[in-house]
Amino acid sequence: MGADRRTPWSGDGSVGIWGHTFDIVLGCVLAGLLAGALSAALTQAVYAAEDAFQHLPIHWMWWPAIGGLVIGVGGWMFPQALGVGYDVIGDLLRGDVGGRVILGVLIVKSVIWSVSLGSGTSGGVLAPLLMMGAALGAVEAWLLPAEGLGFWPLVSMGAILGGTMRSPLTGVVFALELTKDINMVLPLLLAVTIAHGFTVLTLRRSILTEKIARRGYHLSREYAIDPLEILFVREVMRTSVAAVPADAPYDTLRHSLHGDSSCGRQRLYPVIGDAHELVGVVTRGDLQAVADAAPENAAAPLAAAAP
């Protein structure tokens, strides 16, 4: 991303600038769609691998070993796909990588990364996404309008990061910090926003929140707050419910209501029959009313008051 690179965003006044700008805009739209599709595919691949490991008829302690074996085979076939890959990312941005390496990084890195995370091993997300995004952009550079070395790899890096992690502004700012090229703001914003929108529409959760949801903790999307979506039944239900027998006389009930302080927090009481079946329900107000009735009703059974 040299300082002499002229782009339609810099207002250089060259002939046909608006036509060229339109081509770049369409290219950024296509790059955003492809990055969104790859982001969705990578997210689904990670959890498809996790589901596949869970169906293996072996103990889970062997899963990371199998994931490591897949990484080793992929690294043996294509060493550039191993490691953090910052050197490979730099080569992709400078255009110093051949077609075989570009395709190898894109395919092999996607496979070994998905399998390694799905196997339960501890792995990163940021650097692999940047590497795969840069490789995707290098492929797009073969077809999209020429806009200088590293233009399409950088756009795709930001789009992949923003789409997969559902953090569009992070993808834009990260790409700008790498290049210090303020002319890249508009292309990045366009591609990253489209990639983010693609994954939001195609996936219920991001690659980060899907893991949390699989553990039973559901998170609301940032633009919608639904308390019922993030609450468990066990968090709001009453676990100790006071029930009263149907044949309990009123005088016994009167002593129970006045003597048990915990009953004051319960507003509805089930009435249980001899066979432990539900005869009916009464409110605390009804119970208090019948318990304080005239003395001649003291021996009457509670079933008479249960609707």
Query: Do residues 188 and 163 lie in contact, with contact meaning Cβ atoms separated by under 8 Å?
Result: no
- The stretch 151-170 carries a mean pLDDT of 86
Q: Write down the pLDDT at residue 96.
A: 78
Query: Do residues 307 and 278 lie in contact, with contact meaning Cβ atoms separated by under 8 Å?
Result: no
Q: Give residue 30's identity as a one-letter amino acid code.
A: L
Residue 24, both tokens: 């770049």
The rounded percent of the chain whose pLDDT value lies above 70 is: 77
- The stretch 206-234 carries a mean pLDDT of 69
Which CATH number applies to 238-304? 3.10.580.10
Q: Write down the pLDDT at residue 266.
A: 72
- Bridge pairing between strands 278-283 and 268-272: antiparallel
**Selected residue with higher pLDDT from 299 and 62:** 62
* 24: Cβ contacts below 8 Å, ≥ 6 apart: 7, 8, 145, 147, 187
- The stretch 184-194 carries a mean pLDDT of 88
Cα separation, 92 vs 136, whole angstroms: 10
pTM value surpassing 0.75: no
Query: Do residues 171 and 190 lie in contact, with contact meaning Cβ atoms separated by under 8 Å?
Result: no
- The stretch 137-154 carries a mean pLDDT of 83
Q: Write down the pLDDT at residue 21.
A: 75
Q: Write down the pLDDT at residue 120.
A: 79
pLDDT at 199 over 80: yes
Q: Write down the pLDDT at residue 225.
A: 57
pLDDT tens digits for range 245-283 = 777 776 666 666 665 555 556 777 788 877 778 877 777
pLDDT at 149 over 60: yes
Which CATH number applies to 8-203? 1.10.3080.10
17-54 vs 99-118: helix crossing angle, rounded to 10: 40
At residue 124 the predicted structure's pLDDT band, cuts being 50, 70 and 90, is: confident
17-54 vs 63-77: helix crossing angle, rounded to 10: 140
Domain boundaries of the chain, sorted by first residue: 8-203, 238-304
